Amino acid sequence: MDKRQLIFELRMEIAAVRQALRDSEDAGLTEVQIDGLLERLSYLLEIVRKLEE
């Protein structure tokens, strides 16, 4: 997988995590689950940032 494809895949995962956060109240997610999603989002964003440097 080349760098562009990897960044694309990471951005798709970021979009999915963001959607899960938007839907968190309707889905009845706990605070711990939301914190986990926020940590995952932060982690993915950092990876993309480093790849784009």
Q: Is 17 exposed, middle or buried (0-12, 13-18, 19+ CB in 10 A)?
A: buried
Q: Which two tokens stand for residue 44?
A: 């993915």
Name residue, tokens 């899960």. 20
Q: For the chain, what is the largest distance between any 2 Cα atoms, rounded to a whole number of angstroms? A: 37
* Per-residue pLDDT, 42: 98
Q: Is the pLDDT at 52 greater than 90, yes or no? A: yes
pTM equals 0.89
pLDDT of residue 25: 94
Q: Could you read off the pLDDT of 14-48 as tens digits, one per residue?
A: 999 999 999 999 999 999 999 999 999 999 999 99
Q: Is the pLDDT of residue 1 over 90?
A: no
Q: Name residues whose C-beta falls within 8 Å of residue 13's C-beta, 6 or more positions apart in sequence.
A: 44
